[in-house]
Structures are given as C-alpha cells and as structure tokens.
Amino acid sequence: MKLTVLGCSGGIGSGRHTTCYLIDDDILVDAGTGITRLSLDQLANIDHIFLTHSHLDHVLGLPLLLDAVGDRRGMPVSVHALPETLDILSDHLFNWRLWPDFREIPDVSNPWVKFSPLPLGSTVDLGGRAFTTLPAHHVVPACGYRITGESGSLVFTGDTTSSDALMHALNDMSDLHDLIIETSFENELRDIAVASQHHWPDSLAHELKRLKSQPGIWITHLKPGNEDAIVAELKQRIPDRDIQPLVQDQIIEW
C-alpha cells in the first residue's frame, strides 16, 4: 500500500495545505486543502473518503470535490466516518444553506455521494485494504484509522490529545509499521493545546513512553510558522525515538 501526503499542516500559508492523504490512487483519508493538489482526473478516481472528524481543515475539500467531478463518475463517492461526524456534516454542511446536499443530486436514487456510518471499532475492507476506526480524544467526535494491508498496519491518529484507549489499541497491534500522530503546538502554547484538545511535545512524550512497539513515527498537524520549534522540543523530550515531521509530497509504503 502507498500513502501520499497531499497536506499535513495545521493551517495554510506559504505552500502549506491541511490534512489530506491519498491511499494508492482511489482513497482519501480526510479532505483538507491538500485535496486541491489533485487533478480533475485524479479527483474523479476517488471512490472512498475516510474522515477522522468534522472540522473544516479536514473536510472542506469534500463538497468541492463532489461539485467538480460528480458528473464525471458512474457511482457515488462513499464517505466513511463516525455516525456523529456524518450527523454534523448533514446538519451544518450538506444542508442546502451552506452547500447543496449531494445525496439528493441529481436525485436520491442516483446521488453523487453516499454516507457510510463507521462506528468505533468497525472495519471496511476494500480489496484487501482494511480501514478500522480507532479511538481519539478531541473537542468533537473523532477517530483515527488503522490501515492494514498484506505487509502490516499504518495508523493515523487524526486530531487527538492524550488517549488511554488509543494507546491500548496501539499496544495491541503486532504489525504496526508506521504511526502518524499529531503535535499541534509547542510547550509554550500548552494552554491552547489543552483547550483545543491537541498534543504538545510534553503530552506526546508522555504518550510515547507507553508505546511498546518501535514504528516509524511521523508528526503531523504542526502549527504554521511554529514547525521547527515544535520538532526541536519533541526531539529534546523524546530522544530515544526517531521522530520526524511529516512533509508534503512524502510517500510512505508498507
């Protein structure tokens, strides 16, 4: 399997794009501004989108994708997410006020998108590529994903702060190849991280002390302009692990 990083920043500006990962060439995990880096043909090839939560930096590309290529496809795009996340999208995005409801376009029997609720702990298998929801701890209902192929698993936590349930799930995995986990603020902005339920270097250091395996660890969702400071603090506080910032256009294969 192959993951291509289309966007991994905690914000925008100067070449930065928010969270969006392309799996092989037909699946997206989250749909932030990174989605705009795909061509029309690439967008039309997306059959499944797995959302971690409902915040704009992770979903704002979804309505634009449907508007751009819905008529080019012969089947609806399947959007997989927690039931609570899909409820938020129904109430606040695809509501005919902020954006048309593409579950009814061109009509309800032939829509351009369908919602597929994926409760916590559920798995979707797409041709031997398994996507399993994992617990996360954020200010809205949120999940991470374990993405498993023949050669093992990659985990993307989505937006989260400390989570006992997530750490238990990670420690139960015998095939964890890579871990993409967020750290949004440096320690000086701890109060903001706590209020918004994101990681900061000290909190991630506490989590990783509990991680039994030795996957590749990639840091995502860094605050724009603060990337170097956050990474420096992470390396200082977690010297026993090889921690690297995720970068745009990076490819991870497993």
Phi, psi of 184 (to 5 degrees): -90, -25
Q: Is 57 a catalytic residue?
A: yes
Q: Report the chain (254 residues): mean pLDDT per 10 consecutive residues.
A: 98 96 98 98 98 98 98 97 98 98 97 98 97 98 97 98 98 98 98 98 98 98 97 97 97 97
What domain range is 245 assigned to?
2-253
10 Å CB burial of residue 101 (0-12, 13-18, 19+) is middle
pLDDT given for residue 202 in this prediction = 98
pLDDT at position 49 = 99
Segment 51-108, tens digit of pLDDT: 999 999 999 999 999 999 999 999 999 999 999 999 999 999 999 999 999 999 999 9
What is the rounded CA–CA span in Å between residue 6 and residue 229? 23
At residue 153, the pLDDT reads 98
pLDDT reported for residue 152: 97
pLDDT value at position 231? 98
CB 61 within 8 A of CB 97: no
pLDDT at position 194 is: 98
Q: Which string of DSSP letters, residue by residue, matches 187-204?
A: GGGHHHHHHHT---HHHH
Catalytic residue among 57, 125, 191, 242: 57
**Contact criterion met (CB below 8 Å) for 163 and 137:** yes
Give the CATH number, domain containing residue 62: 3.60.15.10
- Which ranges constitute the DSSP H helices of the chain? 40-44, 56-59, 61-69, 83-92, 164-171, 190-196, 201-209, 227-237
Instruction: State the Cα angle at 94 between 88 and 99, rounded to 5°.
Output: 130
Position 25 scores a pLDDT of 98
Name the domain count of the chain.
1
Nearest to 143 by CA among 55, 53, 57: 53
Answer yes or no: are the C-beta atoms of 249 and 172 closer than 8 Å: no
Which residue do the tokens 């937006």 mark? Answer: 159
Residues belonging to the chain: 254
